[in-house]
Amino acid sequence: MTIWFNKKIQNISGKKYNSKSISIDFMPQHFFKFHCKSNGAKKNIDRCYDLNIHFFGIMFSYTNWDYGDVS
């Protein structure tokens, strides 16, 4: 299941979207996998930030598609 959050921002150059998504899955074959990882994105340098957490077969993912303003 993935949930999307989109926010439209009006700025000088026109419309801009600020998109984020949260994904939650269950995979019983990964029940004993404990994992937390980020892609290490830096604000205003990288465009996308990812965070993944795996705990008791539950896969939680957060993505900020417009993490930094590199325009």
Q: Retrieve residue 8's tokens.
A: 């439209």
Which class for 32: exposed (0-12), middle (13-18), buried (19 or more C-beta within 10 A)?
exposed
pLDDT value for 70 = 47
Average pLDDT of span 30-58: 89
pLDDT value for 3 = 74
Residues near 53 by beta carbon (within 8 Å), at least 6 away in sequence: 35, 36, 59, 60, 61
For residue 69, being part of any structural domain is answered with no
For residue 42, being part of any structural domain is answered with yes
Structural domain containing residue 26: 2-10+21-64
At residue 50 the predicted structure's pLDDT band, cuts being 50, 70 and 90, is very high
Pairing assessment for the beta strands 58-64 and 49-55 based on DSSP bridges: antiparallel
pLDDT value for 19 = 82
Sheet strands side by side (includes 35-38):
2-11, 14-26, 58-64, 49-55, 35-38
Domains: count for the chain: 1
Whether residue 52 has pLDDT greater than 70: yes
Average pLDDT value for the chain: 82
